[in-house]
Every structure is written in structure tokens, then in C-alpha cells.
Amino acid sequence: MADRRVLVKVLGGGGEVGRLSVLLRYSDSRRAVILDAGVNFDENDNPVFANTYPPKYVEAIVLSHAHLDHIGTAPMYYISGNPAIYATRPTLEMARLMWADFLKINGYYSPYEAGEVDKAVAATRTIDYGDEVEAAGFTLRFYNSGHIPGSVFTLIEADGLRIGFTGDVNTVETKLMKGMDIDSIGGVDVLIMEATYGASTHPPRRVSEAKLVSIVEEVVEQGGTVLIPAFSIARGQEVMMILEEYGVDVPVAVDGMIRKTTEIMLENRRYINNPHLLERAYNDYLFVRGWRDRSRVWRRPGVIIASAGMLKGGPSLYYVKKIGGKKKNAVILVSYQAEGSPGRRLLEEGKIPGSEEMLKARLEWLDLSSHADMYGLAEMARRLKPSRIIVVHSDAEVAAKFVEYLRGRVDGDTRIDIAVNNAEYILEA
């Protein structure tokens, strides 16, 4: 079957960080595998879905992890179909929360509803690292991608051709995650890779951690309150674990979806790096359970870790309005702040989100990324030895800079493409 070719189509995530979705099928068949099916948001914060493929031909959807930019389009396949989803247990459990939350905020713009989400959940078969699955004539195998609990790198074998799909990766160890398991993969022919941070470098982890701790101690000692807006999957837990490990002796309150996601992580502890540390933080810190707690915690000196990470609603938006007007307080952003997000506007204009008042509290932005930076990404690519690389999930300008850097680090004959949406690639098996 040497004349069979494999078709790769980029359904979303070409030249953009968000709505990643990649289709794979043989050139002589309509049956397909979909790798991720995420959503993006436009400048008005409305959802932009990935393109889709006729659901009746989709044999499997792999969800690399539970972030919305990888799963937000997936339930669309259940309006008129019922393909199998493959995801790890923590990904499935967190995806349910994310889909429900997505519909709560964006239901009006969504072609699918809660019924489709239920069908997607019911169609999910949980997989684990090292598992092997057959779909649409391909063999899929899963590895730890190091990004967040349950995240996978997928290796697709097609008539001897090895295709790697990174999802999101992190190659360095964090409190919450061991780094990506590159060695077990053993090499690929084609690498479809994310490059979210392809043009930047992260400071050493310990530097960011120490800075976080010192700002917290300084502000609270002066009687201030520190708000740390954080994504509810991974970043919130990472901050909790840092404060716990450094033994920061101040009251810590946690608010938003972070409680539920922490519980999911603690129930799936083999997917995290230091379960005992997370458990200690979970037991030590106050989880805000209602307005009584909520209206109390910001009046006291201490730390509040709250979703959402970009201040797009959620309790963090409530708290920033409460504490932002006082100089003794501080706001520490620890998450990626997308163009046009309230968090980014706060950094650029200094106005408290949702008001005309200027922020008087100290404002900091720390890098605690769960993504590999340009060094990590290039090192991963070098070790996987692909002869062909397709860059996705990256701003077009960032991707161009990354490819320039990458060229000097992988074999000179490697063909590298920066994907655009709807691009098709034909691979010889």
C-alpha cells in the first residue's frame, strides 16, 4: 500500500493561538481522525469555532487536554453524529466543567447545547499514557506532554509513517507537572507542533517563584491584599503549590472553579508531579464557598487566588474592583493575557476592568507559563528528529520568528511549514 498517502488538513489554529484542530485521513478514504477541536475568541470576546468535517466520517476525536482552545468545538460533532472521543480521565472530567462554563457564558453564540455536551461525554473512552487505539486505519499512541494534568502528545502511525501531534507541551518540570516525556516517543517522521511561545523565553522557574513569594510577603506585611487572577486549570494550583512549598505564612483564599479542578487533580493524582504538596495546600487554604466568604476575604491582609486568569469575569473581576483602588494592595497576573482581554488592557491602560477608575494597587506580571518556550520547543523538535515540521497554534509573526530560530537547530533538510487555516498537506506513507 505504498501508494497510499496521508492527508493532513488544518481546521483551526493555523497562524493563531486558539481553536486548534487538525484532521488526518488517508487519501483513498473519507474516514478521519480529528486531533483537538478548540475554540478561539474574537476582539469582542465572541467565540470563533474551528472548521469541522462531516461527523459521519469522523471515527475518533482526540482531545489533547481540557483547555477550551483544544476542546471548545468538539461537541459540535454531536449535533448530527456520534464519533468516539479519546481523552485521559482528568481531561474528560475537566472538559465537562469547561464546556458547561463555556455554554453559560457563550450559549447564545454556540451551535451546540448541553445535550451535545452530554453526548460528547458519553462518547468518551478514557485513555492513559502508553495506550494504543485504532481509528480510521491509524494507530494512535499517547504520551505525557507535560503541559497540564492529563495532557497528551499523540503519536499516529500510518503505514509505517510516524506523525506526532504535540497538543500543548511543556518540557520543564513545574510544581504541578513533570516535564514532557520526549524519550519514550522515540522519534517521528512528521511533527505537527504548537509554538505558542515560539518567539520568547521564560525566566528560570525558580526566579519567577521567588519573585511571587517576595511580592506576597512584602504586600501582606504592610497590611495589603494580593489578588492573583489565575486560570482554573493548572495555573491556580501551581500558585497554591508555590506558596505552600515556600511556607508563605499568610492567609490564602481560593475562589472560582479552581476548587473543583483541584479536586479532580487530587482524585487523579498519578497525573501530577507533587500530589502531597497540592493536597497540603488544599487542606491549608480557605476555599470561598459563597458571598459570605467572598465579601470577607478581600478586607483582610492576605492572598486571593481567583479565576478567571485574564479577568474576563469570574470572582477575579469582582475582587479587582474591590482591592484595585488602594495603593497598599497588589494584583499579580500570572497567566497569558490575550490581546484585547481585560487583563491585557489593565496592563496597557492601567484602568480597573469594568470601571473608569485607575488601578492604584501595585501591578505585576509574572511568567509561570505551562508552555515550553522557544528553547524547549526547539529542543523537543531536535530530539524527535522529524524530516518535516508543521507549525500550528502560534501567532503568524511568532511562528515566523520561531522557524528562523528552529532552522539552525534541526537537520538542514527538514522541511518546515507554518500552517494557515484550511491548509492541506500530503504525506507519503
- Interface stretch with Zn ion, choices 110-118, 163-171, 350-358, 405-413 (CB under 5 A): 163-171
- Interface stretch with Zn ion, choices 49-57, 116-124, 162-170, 299-307 (CB under 5 A): 162-170
Residue 269 near residue 176 (C-beta atoms within 8 A): no
Nearest-approach distance from CB 19 to Zn ion, in angstroms: 10
Residue 426 near residue 7 (C-beta atoms within 8 A): yes
| Cβ-based nearer residue to Zn ion, 167 or 315 | 167
| Cβ-based nearer residue to Zn ion, 69 or 189 | 69
- Using CB under 5 A as the binding rule, the residues of this chain from 176 to 205 that contact Zn ion are none
Parallel/antiparallel/unpaired status of strands 415-418 and 388-392 = parallel
| Cβ-based nearer residue to Zn ion, 59 or 69 | 69
Query: What mask of x and - would describe binding to Zn ion in positions 110 to 149, judged by CB under 5 A?
Result: ----------------------------------------
Cβ neighbours around 131 below 10 Å, total: 15
- Interface stretch with Zn ion, choices 22-30, 165-173, 197-205, 330-338 (CB under 5 A): 165-173
Residue 161 near residue 338 (C-beta atoms within 8 A): no
Number of residues forming the site for Zn ion (CB under 5 A): 3
Residue nearest to Zn ion (CB): 67
- Using CB under 5 A as the binding rule, the residues of this chain from 52 to 81 that contact Zn ion are 67, 69
Nearest-approach distance from CB 145 to Zn ion, in angstroms: 9
Parallel/antiparallel/unpaired status of strands 58-62 and 32-35 = parallel
- Interface stretch with Zn ion, choices 49-57, 164-172, 178-186, 381-389 (CB under 5 A): 164-172
Nearest-approach distance from CB 301 to Zn ion, in angstroms: 33
| Cβ-based nearer residue to Zn ion, 168 or 417 | 168
Q: Does 168 bind Zn ion (CB under 5 A)?
A: yes
Nearest-approach distance from CB 167 to Zn ion, in angstroms: 7
Nearest-approach distance from CB 231 to Zn ion, in angstroms: 9
Nearest-approach distance from CB 388 to Zn ion, in angstroms: 22
Nearest-approach distance from CB 168 to Zn ion, in angstroms: 4
Nearest-approach distance from CB 395 to Zn ion, in angstroms: 12
- Interface stretch with Zn ion, choices 160-168, 221-229, 279-287, 380-388 (CB under 5 A): 160-168
| Cβ-based nearer residue to Zn ion, 69 or 101 | 69
Q: Can you give the binding site for Zn ion, defined by CB under 5 A? A: 67, 69, 168
